Amino acid sequence: MQRARLIPTTGVGGQADAEQRATSATLAVLSIVRDFSREIFGPLGASKAEKAIVETFTEVEVKCPDGNVRPDGLVVVKYGKTVWRALVEVKTGGALLDAKQLNSYLDAAREVEADLVISISNEIGIAGAHPTEGLKVRSNSRVKVHHYSWSEILSKAVKCKVHAGVDDPEQSWILAELIRYLEHPASGVTGFSDMGPAWVDIRDGARQGTLTKRSDGLDDIATKWDELLRHLALRLSSETGAEVAQLLPKAQQDPKARLQTVRDQLLTDGVVTGDIRVPGTASDIGITADMRARNIVVDCTIVAPEEKKGKGSVTWLTRQINEAPRDLVIEAFERNGRTPRSADLAAIEQDPTCLLPHGKGDVQRFRLVLHREAGQNRKSGGRSPGFVDTVNQTVDSFYEHVLQNITPWVAPTPKVKRVVNEDSEPQPKAPVPVSAQDQSEASPISAEIDLTANSNETDQTESVGLTETRPLSIEQ
């Protein structure tokens, strides 16, 4: 017995059924849950107003000069006099988007004055580019094309439901049902789980040093690695609610340049690398897959506190990562030093000075490194861990038990300090007045002086302050 589903997975008999069901369910929820539709369509130019009306349609037919075309869906967002439209093409499972089909939808979008063509599939492009080559979209074209992977759709749905929250309880439940549907294997929505058919040859060639520029599958594996990095960013986005993103240097933001960089890494060193940025953390996450050593390396760099020296800076760090794996390696870089000293967390907890030369030193930064053996299988879910499985697990463990627990050092607020001129004479303090109660509690001798003193003596006493007393005279 199981809880009834708003969107049942029964009746999905093949690729066509999965695509129709996924398209209808997703577009229907987008028309109901405004928070979700704002998350999906807002960045693409649609109105973000809360009261905007979102209409979605399936089984659309558009008449074009070269014949009618049937995109999977149509989205219309209205707010006041503003109308935004987008045609939608959906693929599930292992089906790939077709350039010819998408180009026909671009022509159809111009006919109906749509602003955009949105493609959705399990593919993930490299460096943020569309995964389909051969699209006829000029830079100055009025109609654009944008791709969402199902992983990204699911990640945004989870972030909207779990982290941001949906105020309307019915809308919140409907969005939860969509998430439940998309996470079911029968929906045809899959995360990144396969390095592709060329994986074994490229993996072994990199380990043996036999790869060349003409090796079959080199570009495919380079593309798959970048897709895996974007998949990791989407996983962390879903789990943290933050806008986690793959971090690319400016020179690699062009897809062709990024592809060439990954190719060169494989050919030269037998490794592939990448970086992920989680907003608000103390460091970016570096990820390296070393084919020759058969391991995964995840690392980050933490700036040491300027006001803490030697052992103090080490214990400042280790206190924050007491839940980290004991084999986590910490490298300490001295100021003006080139070669770091390193040890694992277990050894450092026994003796924090083992990271310091002669037990002393001024640490400038730390590098935290987690090593794990890489799975060898191209696919996830087998009897032995796949390559993607081990990368996912290593990154998840590093973030959860290490990076998310580190608070960056912040310099204390500067304090005001007064400068005293030693050559100047100290200023006399103002006399402290005595209250009536203080006077009543004066000693008997002082009281007798006040009662027996003549007027001249009283004037003199007042002139020097009430706190002054004179010894009692025999003659009085």
Q: Which residues pair with 366 in a beta bridge?
A: 302, 332
Q: Supply φ then ψ for residue 457, to 5 degrees.
A: -70, -35
Question: What string of DSSP letters covers 226-259?
Answer: HHHHHHHHHHHHHHH-S--EEE--GGG-SHHHHH
Amino acid at 17: D
Please give, one letter per residue, the 3-state secondary structure of 320-369.
HHCCCCCCCEEEEEECCCCCCEEEEHHHHHHCHHHHCHHHCCCEEEEEEE
Q: Which residues pair with 334 in a beta bridge?
A: 363
How far, in Å, are 108, 258, 267 from residue 251 at the CA level?
A: 36, 8, 19
Strand order in the sheet with 271-277: 245-247, 271-277, 285-290, 295-303, 363-373, 329-334, 341-344
pLDDT block averages, 10 residues each, the chain of length 476: 73 80 94 96 95 94 88 95 96 93 94 94 88 87 93 94 90 94 90 92 94 93 94 93 93 93 95 96 97 96 89 94 96 85 95 84 92 93 88 96 94 80 60 50 42 43 42 41
Give dist(CA 365, CA 333) in Å, integer: 5
Cβ(77)–Cβ(41) below 8 Å? yes
Helix (H, G, I), strand (E, B) or coil at 280: coil
Please give, one letter per residue, the 3-state secondary structure of 414-476.
CCCCCCCCCCCCCCCCCCCCCCHHHHHCCCHHHHHHHHHCCHHHHHHHHHHCCCCCCCCCCCC
Nearest Cα neighbor of 187 from 73, 57, 27, 23 is 23
Dihedral sign (CA 24, 241, 227, 250): positive
Q: What is the dihedral of CA 134, 138, 139, 143, to 10 degrees?
A: -100
Task: Write out the two tokens for 442.
Answer: 């004066």
Give dist(CA 27, CA 37) in Å, integer: 9
Give dist(CA 220, CA 136) in Å, integer: 23
Task: Write out the two tokens for 178.
Answer: 């969509």
What pLDDT is attached to residue 470? Answer: 45
Give dist(CA 406, CA 304) in Å, integer: 12
Give dist(CA 100, CA 111) in Å, integer: 17
The angle at the Cα of 57, spanning 54 to 62, to the nearest 5 degrees, equals 120
CA 435 remoteness from chain centre: 65
Pairing of strands 245-247, 271-277: antiparallel
Pairing of strands 329-334, 341-344: antiparallel
Nearest Cα neighbor of 198 from 376, 374, 378 is 378
132: exposed, middle or buried (Cβ count in 10 Å: 0-12, 13-18, 19+): buried
What pLDDT is attached to residue 64? Answer: 86
218-240 vs 255-269: helix crossing angle, rounded to 10: 110
